[in-house]
A = this chain, B = another copy of it.
Amino acid sequence: MANNSQINLNLTQYLEVEKIGLGAFFPIMGFMNETEFKSVVNEFCLPSGDIFTLPIVLDVDEKLANEIDIGSTVELLYMGSVVAHLIPNDFYNCDRSLVAKAIFGTDDPNHPGVKHFISLKPVFVGGLVKLLKRIDTGIWHDKLTPADTQTIFRENKWRRMVGFQTRNVPHRAHEYLQKIALEFADGLFIQPLIGQRRSGDFTPEAILTGYETLINGFFPKDRVILGTLSTFMRFAGPREAIFHAIIRRNYGCTHFIVGRDHAGVGGWYGEYDAHRLANKFEGKLGITILCLSGPYFCEICDSLVTEKTCPHSGTDAVKLINGSDMRQILGDGSFPNPKLMRHEVIESLNNIKLFMDE
């Protein structure tokens, strides 16, 4: 039955298939073969020279791999439905520990990205993907596809569109970065990443409700687009910042904000490592990366600032705004200082489940 084999996808794999099919990972049109994989891991680019910083792989068991012929048409199923066709062109594996070190800078399995990567099934299947059908997984469904946003931006004649990546209910540091972008851009595309499911993460409902409240009350609504991106967090720090930028380029953005410790976790990356990598690729991505610092509220400046605009860091006047702290305060049910998070946003979350269970 080699000519009619099937692969059942888990949610993470389905979302990868969907993103490939929607063009979100362009120029990636399928799962990477070994040549592409090695080039991306070791050279930060595809064999064509196009910058690409994270591998896109489909992992299968050895037994299944042995049943599949190169060049055949494989059906990819999710929840019992055929969602895509795959034409396999390569089967390979890699030294998981070595590759993890290259991607994440560590092979420590306490790093959640490493943990995910080393636990993938043993064989990677490369090959072109043709998306046939999207599954509406409810809140997981992408609100806007790359084709949708490109159309919106074009029809509005927006020349400068800034993309913003987030996994949080918005606090005022996020708002500050977004408003800086809006000062010189035509529009802002806020696209929370909602494909992760780690315990303690904000729920998609909380993130989207928070943003809707903020945008409706405090933003020029007609120039802010709220979408979602369903894909899993890889916690690859600098490499993932570039990956996130490439995705937003594919959605039609001309600029992308990379802040402090983008796609970081714990203390695995330096605060501005992502900026250094972004500077290295300047002019090669088809999107301009705005390297912005981490905002805080300064009582002396009497405004939201960053270390790039305020000389008072390290004093009592400085009120740090940190996603993790906000998460804890919201979990406690206490009200943060309105300089740090808007009450209207918090109140709008009253009847909404805030955090993911495992």
Contact = CB atoms under 8 A, between A and B. Distances in A.
A182 B183 CA distance: 13
A302 B219 CA distance: 13
A308 interface: yes
Interface stretch (A120-128, A232-240, A287-295): A287-295
A330 to B, nearest CB: 20
Contacts of A308: 182-183, 220, 223
Contact of A302 (B183, B292, B309, B338): B338
Chain A, interface size category, equals: 20 to 34
A103 interface: no
A219 B311 contact: yes
Interface in A210-234: 217-221, 223
Contacts of A179: 305, 309
Interface string A297-329: 000111111111111000000000000000000
Given A180-B180, A183-B180, A220 B290 contact: no
A179 to B, nearest CB: 4
Contacts of A304: 303
A254 B218 CA distance: 32
A15 B171 CA distance: 50
Interface string A182-226: 111000000000000000000000000000000001111101000
A179 B291 CA distance: 15
A184 B220 contact: no
Contacts of A218: 300-301, 310-311
A219 B291 CA distance: 19
Contacts of A303: 303-304
Nearest to A223: B308
A158 to B, nearest CB: 12
Given A302-B338, A303-B304, A182 B220 contact: no
Interface of A: 179-180, 182-184, 217-221, 223, 290-293, 300-311, 338-339
19 contacts: A179-B305, A179-B309, A180-B180, A180-B183, A182-B308, A183-B293, A183-B309, A184-B291, A217-B300, A218-B310, A219-B309, A219-B311, A220-B309, A220-B310, A223-B308, A302-B338, A302-B339, A303-B303, A303-B304
Given A179-B305, A217-B300, A220-B307, 4 more contacts: A180-B184, A183-B309, A219-B311, A220-B309
